[in-house]
Amino acid sequence: MAEDEIWTEKYRPKTLDEVVGHEQIVKRLKSYVKSGNLPHLLFSGPPGVGKTACSIAIAKELFGDTWQSNFTELNASDERGIDVVRNNIKNFARTAPLGSASFKIIFLDEADALTSDAQSALRRTMERYTATCRFIISCNYSSKIIEPIQSRCAVYRFGALSSKDIETGLKNIAKNENLEITKDGMEALIYISKGDMRRAINALQSSATVSSRITSEVVYQTTSTARPEEINEMLKLALNGQFMDARNRLDDLLVTYGLSGSDIIDQIYRATFELGLDEDVLVALVDRIGEADFRLTEGAHERIQIEALLAHYKLHGKSK
Ligand SMILES: Nc1ncnc2c1ncn2[C@@H]1O[C@H](COP(=O)(O)OP(=O)(O)OP(=O)(O)O)[C@@H](O)[C@H]1O
């Protein structure tokens, strides 16, 4: 294996048994493989949790050596337009499946990026090739997929992976790559992953370029993430009424880690639940975090929004 190989590819599950977590889903997918048939499938869920991995594992198990001829992965939101997507489907579907397979699989990623009109066109294409192809449609939000497509598919909702699942996946890789992950190193990787295995594996791979002993220090440094404790301390200062000190901490974080506004808001959001606040205060602050988060997506000034947020911690801290 090449040194610079991307681990998310190198460790992509080859079978459904190698998929971590999603026990109920995997069980049902296995029963399709066993029966040798497949309905159209709709996989919805956050990024990096195994939707593509499950699809490829299904193809490998169903088709064996001929899987690559009988499986294609297309990005539904191909920037050249839905017609290009439909043409690619047509070209792929035109030839008969290889080997003993009675159908081919078309994996369509990012289907929720399509407009309703494009989805309607896609639906007609699906119908046209139903005899020879099965579609696996992947999206982040199934609510963005038009009803006529949903009703033609068996829908599977993939959740974020649990801490235990992320740990299992990472331990497996660490063993293969001769890495030692310390307890706090694992906690850091889990914190950074937010239930996304791709993110966890990428963090592990970049940490491994620095040291084969993966500590939390290595992880936070290589991924430019503030330690949760540092965020906690900044929030506590603000809650204690020391607004200017909290603001100085914010400066440190921005300079040390080069964090973006949305990174910090995301970490503030997670830290706020760890502060043991009264529920009323918590509710008020989460409401403010939502507001700041929204404003950032609308292009508001990052620095001012985060400071305004810290100001609310001071105001609510005092009223506690
Ligand atoms: N449940 C899992 N078990 C084992 N490895 C996983 C799992 N989920 C993700 N991975 C790892 O992360 C990589 C990315 O996962 P995958 O491509 O399946 O994500 P996805 O859910 O399809 O995300 P996206 O919506 O961004 O396409 C995989 O190649 C694999 O290495």
**Domain limits, the chain:** 7-157, 163-222, 228-315
What pLDDT shows up at residue 279? 94
CA angle 287-268-252, nearest 5°? Answer: 135
Instruction: Answer yes or no: same fold for 7-157 and 163-222.
Output: no
Query: Does residue 11's CB lie within 6 angstroms of at least one atom of ligand 1?
Result: yes
pTM here is: 0.87
- Per residue in 43-73, pLDDT tens? 999 999 999 999 999 999 998 888 888 899 9
Residues 278 and 320 sit within 8 Å (Cβ to Cβ): yes
DSSP secondary structure code for residue 20 in this structure: -
- ipTM reported for the complex surpasses 0.90: yes
Residues 259 and 226 sit within 8 Å (Cβ to Cβ): yes
- 13 assigned ligand-binding residue: no
Query: Does residue 13's CB lie within 6 angstroms of at least one atom of ligand 1?
Result: yes
What pLDDT shows up at residue 1? 44
Which fold is adopted by the domain 7-157?
Rossmann fold (3.40.50)
Query: Does residue 195's CB lie within 6 angstroms of at least one atom of ligand 1?
Result: no
Which regions of the chain are under pLDDT 50?
A: 1-2, 320
- What CATH class has 228-315? mainly alpha
Q: Can you list the alpha helix ranges (DSSP code H) found in 156-298?
A: 163-176, 183-193, 197-208, 216-222, 228-239, 243-257, 261-272, 279-297
How many whole angstroms separate alpha carbon 204 and alpha carbon 197?
Answer: 10
**Cα 51 to ligand 1 centroid, rounded to whole Å:** 6
Which atom from ligand 1 is nearest to the alpha carbon of 140?
25
**Cα 109 to ligand 1 centroid, rounded to whole Å:** 12
Tokens of 86: 């439909």
Architecture of domain 163-222 in this structure: Orthogonal Bundle (1.10)
Which residues contact residue 282 at a Cβ distance below 8 angstroms, ignoring those fewer than 6 apart? 272, 273
What pLDDT shows up at residue 319? 52
